[in-house]
Amino acid sequence: MTADIFSEKHQILFYETDRTRQVTPGMLVNILMLASQDQSDALGITSQKIHAQDLGWVVTQHLLTIERLPRLKEQVVIKTQATAYNHYFCYRDFWLEDLAGHTLAKMHSIFILMDQQKRKITKVPDELVAPYGSDYTAKVERIAEPEKFDAAKTAQSKDYRVRFMDIDANQHVNNVHYFDWIVDSLPEDFLITHQLKQMNIRYKREVHYGELVTSKVDEPITAADSGMLITHHQVSVGQQESCRAQCLWDKIV
C-alpha cells in the first residue's frame, strides 16, 4: 500500500515574509504543516478530536531542505504524505512546489502521539493512522541526529521569555517557534548575506509558558563537501537541553 498524497495551493501573505520579501524559515514550516492539518481535517481526524481523547501529535524531528524560499505573493503547492508508522513513531514527508512543479522545499518529519495528562509518549492506535493509508513498518527509522552542541564553542547566546502566543493546543511551545529562536541567534549581517539551505532539528524536551529559553550558536564552519557553512544550535531552559539543530547556509551572491 502507498499512502495518499494530499495537496493544496497557497499564496504567500505579507506577514509570512520578512524584510527580504521571502518567507521566513519558521513560516515555511507553518505553511508545509498546513497540508497535514488540512489532510487530517479532510479525513475527519481533526486535532480537536485528538485533543478530546487527551492526546496530541508532537513533532520530535524535522529535516528541512530548502531549494529556494518562496517570495511575497507567490503561488505555491503544498504536498504531504504520511508514509509509514510503527508502534510509537509516524513518518511524514512534505514538499513545496512552484506552479511549474519545481521543488522549492522538502521536509521529512517524525511525529509521536503524546498523552496530554501524563505528558508522555503513547502507542499510536491503528484507527488514527489507517485513514492516511500509511504503511506499518516494524523498523524504527534512523535519521542522522544533529551533532551535539559544544558549549565551549558558543559564539552567540540570546535569551527569550516564552510568550502567551508561543503556546499551542498541546500546552507547550509550538515546534515552529524554535525556528525563530534558532535563526535569530545569528547576527543580522550573517542573516542578510546567507540563505538557509537545510535544518535538521531534534526536539528533546517540552518548553512551557513563562520559561526563559537560551538559544546558542557556534561559529560557522565551512563544509568540506559543499563549501556551505555549517552552524550548530542548542535551545535550553537552564541546564536542560530542549532542542538541538544543525544548519547549512549558502552565501547569497
Cα gap 143→141, rounded to integer Å = 6
Q: Classify each residue of 94-114 as buried b or exposed e, where b means 16 or more C-beta atoms within 10 Å of its C-beta.
A: bbbbbeeeeebbbbbbbbbbb
Number of residues written out for the chain: 253
Cα gap 74→76, rounded to integer Å = 6
Nearer to its own copies, 26 or 146 (CB): 26
155 contacts its own copies (rule: CB under 8 A): no
Which stretches of 53-146 are DSSP H helices?
Answer: 126-129
CB 253 → its own copies: shortest distance, Å?
Answer: 21
26 contacts its own copies (rule: CB under 8 A): yes
163 contacts its own copies (rule: CB under 8 A): yes
9 contacts its own copies (rule: CB under 8 A): no
User: Which among 209, 210, 202 is positioned nearest to 235, based on CA atoms?
Assistant: 202
214 contacts its own copies (rule: CB under 8 A): no
CB 7 → its own copies: shortest distance, Å?
Answer: 16
Nearer to its own copies, 191 or 237 (CB): 191
CB 126 → its own copies: shortest distance, Å?
Answer: 25
115 contacts its own copies (rule: CB under 8 A): no
Nearer to its own copies, 121 or 191 (CB): 191
CB 137 → its own copies: shortest distance, Å?
Answer: 28
- Non-local (6+) Cβ contacts of 196 within 8 A are 25, 66, 69, 183, 247, 248, 249
CA triplet 125, 131, 133: central angle to 5 degrees? 100
Which stretches of the chain are DSSP H helices?
Answer: 25-42, 47-52, 126-129, 177-184, 188-193
37 contacts its own copies (rule: CB under 8 A): yes
Cα gap 95→134, rounded to integer Å = 17
Q: Which of residues 54-73 bind its own copies (CB under 8 A)?
A: 73
Nearer to its own copies, 113 or 176 (CB): 176
Stretch that binds its own copies, among 134-142, 147-155, 166-174, 223-231 (CB under 8 A): 166-174
Nearer to its own copies, 37 or 65 (CB): 37
> Which spans of this chain sit near its own copies (rule: CB under 8 A)?
13-15, 18-19, 21, 24, 26-27, 30, 33-34, 37, 41, 48, 73, 158-161, 163-165, 167-169, 171, 176, 180, 183-184, 186, 188, 191, 209-210
